[in-house]
Amino acid sequence: MEPVKVGICGLGTVGSGTFNVLVRNAQDIERRAGRAIVVEQIGARRDSPQVDLTGINVTRDVFEVARNPDIDVVVELIGGYDVARELVLEAIRHGKHVVTANKALIAVHGNEIFRAAAEQGVIVAFEAAVAGGIPVIKSLREGLGANRIQWVAGIINGTGNYILTHMRDEGRAFEDVLAEAQALGYAEADPTFDVEGIDAAHKLTILASIAYGVPLQFERAYTEGISRITFDDVKQAEALGYIIKHLGISKRTDDGIELRVHPALVPKEQLLANVHGVKNAIEVMGDAVGPTLYYGAGAGAEPTASAVVADLLDVARDMATHHDYRTPYLAFSGIVEGDESLPILPMENIVTAYYLRLLAVDRPGVLARVATILAEQGVSIEALIQKEATEGELVPIIITTHRTREANMNEAIRQLEALADIAGPVTRIRIEHLDENV
Ligand SMILES: NC(=O)C1=CN([C@@H]2O[C@H](COP(=O)(O)OP(=O)(O)OC[C@H]3O[C@@H](n4cnc5c(N)ncnc54)[C@H](O)[C@@H]3O)[C@@H](O)[C@H]2O)C=CC1
Ligand SMILES: N[C@@H](CC=O)C(=O)O
Ligand code: NA
């Protein structure tokens, strides 16, 4: 059979890793695909010291790759929204199949891209976009196709998990660990995407769409990052039997779908609490299969390349199949036209338990006033710990609650912060007992 001719756009961390894996494992890849997969051209602003480009056709204009008549598949690894969107749409217009690692692009412009791709009858594959090397898209879209998915939850940002792990284990400063994650090639070009939860929200948006058959709705995701997590909270959580993790959670309820990204206290003995460093893990609950877990490297050159190359293998096998007989982009056919039957729920509707940290003025009656506000909002206290005064006259109070509605907790926090006895903002971190929440 004719080889599949690939054009790689972007020769950074993932582009270099993809090139190297394709070259190193060329023989096995050919045996698996039934045909060779060769790099026909690379579009890159500059060469990469990680890659030997001898004999490779390199252009500085990625759009040349998208229009190259000899190329079957364009691999978009430049990242970002705008140029990447133009590049992918241009490749599709020229009848190319597309493989991308770009979750921002799929979460925000995916509906448009899949519509254009369906019209052209081309494949758009994006396994590397969620949880790097973990084949979670394939598992959810194909392996779990028999199930009504009930929830999906996990650690889906490698940089964030790397930071939380090293802060906790070594007491290192946030900025210091972030710089290390950047040097290792884990972070986004703009690392606020990692630490403010935007990257995880992109990924969760994609997972939810594939899990429930709803359109991509990134703008409705609740997004909170880890930048305000303090070492004190990490230690306090640990003393209470929890580890703080940054989670993406999407649940199907009778009223709609939860789509939320935020830090959470996870009981130490649960699986997700034991996922460290750049590793990601996603739990998926299906009605037939029960709980399943997907674990592995969430970022990095070759782990991500592993997913990009797996997509290229799928393209090599499926490109001769008519579009109507391929697995739908987002797992369900007809989804591109939109299915709003399951709305994304506002965050105020979610029900979960909470950890609160308050700084109170050390005078009689404070605890009673705090307890009254919580009781009036129907928030039931699980534990209340009053610490030694460490910050001048202020006393830290740690409260854990039973499950309550977010709207009630918002109102309780508003009232607590208005009390003259309470200094500064109240820290609120949700507590997630995922296994018991089914
Ligand atoms: N780094 C990682 O571990 C992972 C990254 N991703 C995604 O993969 C994509 C690439 O990420 P990285 O390789 O980490 O980024 P990177 O910044 O290391 O590489 C991007 C490369 O594209 C080049 N580039 C950007 N615009 C260009 C243009 N218009 N023309 C030519 N070259 C251009 C840049 O010069 C750079 O060399 C992003 O969408 C990212 O979100 C996905 C999973 C994991
Ligand atoms: N910046 C991302 C890269 C992979 O998607 C992360 O840290 O997870
Ligand atoms: Na993946």
Nearest to 40, CA basis, from 15, 73, 17, 10: 73
**Among the residues of 280-335, which ranges form H helices?**
301-318
Question: 4-134+302-337 has which fold?
Answer: Rossmann fold (3.40.50)
Q: Give the closest residue (by CA) to ligand 2 atom 4.
A: 299
- How much of the chain, in percent, has pLDDT values that exceed 90? 92
Neighbours of 284 (CB within 10 A): 24
- Whether 299 and 159 have beta carbons less than 8 Å apart is answered as yes
Model confidence at 372, in pLDDT bands (50, 70, 90)?
very high
pLDDT at 333 over 70: yes
Encoded tokens for 49 = 């010291």
Cα 34 to ligand 3 centroid, rounded to whole Å: 23
Question: Are 369 and 388 in contact, with CB atoms under 8 Å apart?
Answer: no
Please state the domain extents for the chain.
Answer: 4-134+302-337, 136-297, 350-436
Q: Give the Å distance between the CA of 77 and the centre of ligand 1.
A: 5
Relative to beta strand 149-155, strand 73-76 is unpaired
Of the listed ligands, the closest to the CA of 306 is 3
Domain 350-436 superfamily per CATH:
ACT domain (3.30.70.260)
Each residue of 9-24: pLDDT tens digit? 999 999 999 999 999 9
Ligand closest to Cα of 280 equals 2
Q: Which amino acid, residue 138?
A: K
**What are the counts of helices (DSSP H) followed by strands (DSSP E) for the chain?**
14, 17
| Contact predicate 401/432, CB 8 Å | no
Secondary structure (3-state) at 287: coil
Q: Which atom of ligand 2 is nearest to the CA of 130?
A: 5
pLDDT band of residue 390 (cuts 50, 70, 90) is low
Task: Say if CB 417 and CB 386 are below 8 A apart.
Answer: no
Alpha carbons within 13 A on the beta-carbon side of 64:
12
Whole-number Å distance, alpha carbon 290 to ligand 3 midpoint, is 21
Evaluate if residue 391 carries a pLDDT over 90.
no
- Fold of the domain built from segment(s) 136-297: Dihydrodipicolinate Reductase; domain 2 (3.30.360)
209 Cα: distance to centroid of ligand 1 (angstroms): 24
Q: Are 89 and 102 in contact (CB under 8 A)?
A: no
Burial of 203-232, coded b for 16+ CB within 10 Å and e otherwise, reads bbbbbbbbbbbbbbbbebbbbbbbeebeee
Binding residues: 9-16, 103, 188
- Write down the pLDDT at residue 47: 87
Q: 203 catalytic, yes or no?
A: yes
Going by C-alpha positions, the residue among 264, 255, 186 that lies closest to residue 222 is 264
Q: Which atom of ligand 1 is nearest to the CA of 185?
A: 1
Residues 235-272 pLDDT 10s? 999 999 999 999 999 999 999 999 999 999 999 999 99
The atom of ligand 2 lying closest to the CA of 193 is 1
Catalytic one of 203, 245, 251, 279: 203
Query: Averaged over 311-329, what is the pLDDT?
Result: 97
Q: Which residues of 321-338 are buried (b: 16+ CB within 10 A; e: fewer)?
A: eeeeeebbbbbbeebbee
Tens of pLDDT along 50-70? Answer: 999 999 999 999 999 999 999
Closest approach atom of ligand 1 to CA 102: 39
Q: How far is the CA of 90 from the centre of ligand 1 (A)?
A: 18
The closest ligand to the CA of 13 turns out to be 1
Q: Which residues pair with 9 in a beta bridge?
A: 43, 76
Q: Is the dihedral of CA 105, 108, 114, 119 positive or negative?
A: negative
**Structure token pair of residue 55:** 């004999």
Minimal CA–CA distance to 163: which of 228, 92, 238, 80? 228
Which residues lie with the beta carbon below 6 Å from any ligand 1 atom? 10-15, 43-45, 62, 77-79, 83, 101-103, 128, 132, 185-186, 188-189, 299-300, 304
pLDDT of 205: 98
Q: Taking 90 as the threshold, does the pLDDT of residue 389 lie above it?
A: no
Q: How far apart are CA 162 and CA 182, in angstroms?
A: 11
- Distance of CA 63 from the midpoint of ligand 1 (Å): 16
Confidence check: pLDDT of 398 > 80: yes
- Ligand 1: which atom is nearest the Cα of residue 60? 31
Within 6 Å (CB) of ligand 2, which residues are found?
132, 157-159, 186-188, 194, 199, 298-299
Q: Is the confidence at residue 337, as pLDDT, over 80?
A: no
The pLDDT > 70 percentage for the chain reads 97
Extract the tokens encoding 274.
């034991």
Pair type for strands 4-9 and 37-43: parallel
**Nearest C-alpha to atom 42 of ligand 1 is from which residue?**
101
- Helix, strand, coil shares, percent, the chain, to 5: 40, 25, 35
| Token output for 65 | 């790759």
pLDDT exceeds cutoff 80 at 35:
yes
**pLDDT for 334:** 77
User: Looking at the predicted structure, is the pLDDT value of residue 150 above 60?
Assistant: yes
Residue the block writes with tokens 């990469």: 48
Average pLDDT score over residue span 155-173 = 95
* Statement: residue 341 has pLDDT above 80: no
Q: Which of the four pLDDT bands, split at 50, 70 and 90, describes residue 438?
A: very low
Instruction: Find the Cα–Cα–Cα–Cα dihedral 86, 87, 89, 95, rounded to 10°.
Output: 160
Nearest Cα residue to 84 out of 57, 65, 56: 65
Ligand closest to CA 100? 1
Q: Average pLDDT for residues 314-327, to the nearest whole number?
A: 97
Give the C-alpha separation, 334 to 51, whole Å: 41
Known binding positions for NADPH = 103
